[in-house]
Amino acid sequence: MEMTPDQCRAARALIKWNQQRLADAAGIGIATLTLFETGTSAPRSATVEVLERALRDAGVVFLEEGEMIDGGAGVRLRKQ
């Protein structure tokens, strides 16, 4: 499963990161992140992978569509 722009924004909100912090953690430009999160541009898969890895390292768990009874794709925090 590849992370969606909605999941990216929700994940940042869960861990209280702004776009700059995620861009820095993933080693990408903030413009690239903004274009992805707004759905303006689809980045390369490698870019989405580094974003997802940075969020996972910060404690985010990604949920695939259908994983929850009444929900689509989503995010939650990893149990500490």
With CA atoms as reference, report the closest residue to 3 among 41, 36, 32.
36
Q: Does the pLDDT of residue 72 top 80, yes or no?
A: no
- Segment 12-52, tens digit of pLDDT: 999 999 999 999 999 999 999 999 999 999 999 999 999 99
pLDDT of residue 73: 73
> The whole model's pTM is what?
0.87
Task: For domain 5-73, give its CATH number from 1.10.357.10, 3.40.50.720, 3.30.500.10, 1.10.260.40.
Answer: 1.10.260.40
Q: Could you tell me the residue ranges of all domains in the chain?
A: 5-73
- What confidence tier does 6 reach under pLDDT thresholds 50, 70, 90? very high
Q: Where are the beta strands (DSSP E) in 1-80?
A: 60-63, 74-77
pLDDT of residue 66: 61
Segments in the chain forming alpha helices (H)? 5-15, 19-26, 30-37, 45-57
